[in-house]
Homo-oligomer: A and B are copies of this chain.
Amino acid sequence: MPVTSGGGTEVAPVGRRTQQERRSRTQTLLLDATVECLAEVGWSGTSTTEVARRAGVSRGAQQHHYPTKMELVDAAVEHLLERQRQAYEAAFAELPPERHNIEGALDLLWDVFRSPPARALLELAVASRTDAELRALCSDLNDRVLQLILDTFEQLFPRTHLPDDSIPTALRTVYAVYVGLSVQNALDDDVSGHQRAVHDQFKSLARLLIPDPDADARDTRHEAGPQGTGPGDSH
């Protein structure tokens, strides 16, 4: 497992590198370029030629590591998910203590959904509807992202264990809102501020349901109490 340092555009002098280093470097270059390409020119604009160009490698090198376009995209998705998870956790860790709460977490999540990598994922998700091959790669993408969010949140708010029954639908509602907002945000970048307004509303609600970790020690401890995390609380 190559553990190259994150994301940098470092081009060290091309001295003598081990095969593993060469391999790893080229692959990272290619995968980053793929994500960037998806985010900037969309799925239909993402060609292996363009990816290779952005990565600064030859088409031959690209084909050597990822013989087909699908293998390239497949690897890029894994690359992307792992990188996003790390970025989110790191960002949360660096958050000032007073924002170590659900609101801060949702703000970060919103940032994630507006980031280029997330837009790359949206491109893939939408495109995979009509592309059988791509669909095979993205079929479980929804659940994976959902699971990623769930895991991270549980890790960040270990004591806020909502009843297992209420989590799925509630979380999925939140997820749906974020996806919907991100689609619109991808279009107009929220020049009108509407998306922000919706998001603010959502944060307010979440704050009511998930108190700050610091304050929750003496308060919420009921097992089945907080039934609705999402907008709906009936049923």
Contacts and interface: CB of A to CB of B under 8 A. Distances in A.
A204 interface: yes
A43 interface: yes
Given A127-B44, A232-B205, A234-B204, A198 B169 contact: yes
B198 A230 contact: yes
Interface stretch (A53-61, A117-125, A151-159, A212-220): A117-125
A231 interface: yes
A147 interface: no
A126 B130 contact: no
A146 to B, nearest CB: 9
Contact of A201 (B42, B119, B138, B232): B232
A26 interface: no
Contact of A205 (B44, B175, B234): B234
- Interface SS of chain A: helix, strand, loop or mixed? helix
A101 interface: no
Contacts of A177: 173, 176-177, 180, 231
B232 A202 contact: yes
Interface residues of A, number: 54
Contacts of A186: 126, 129
B175 A180 contact: yes
Given A126-B123, A176-B180, A180-B179, A201 B41 contact: no
Contacts of A183: 122, 125-126, 179-180, 183
**Ordered nearest first, which 5 A-B pairs have the shortest CB separation?**
A231-B231, A201-B232, A180-B180, A176-B180, A44-B44
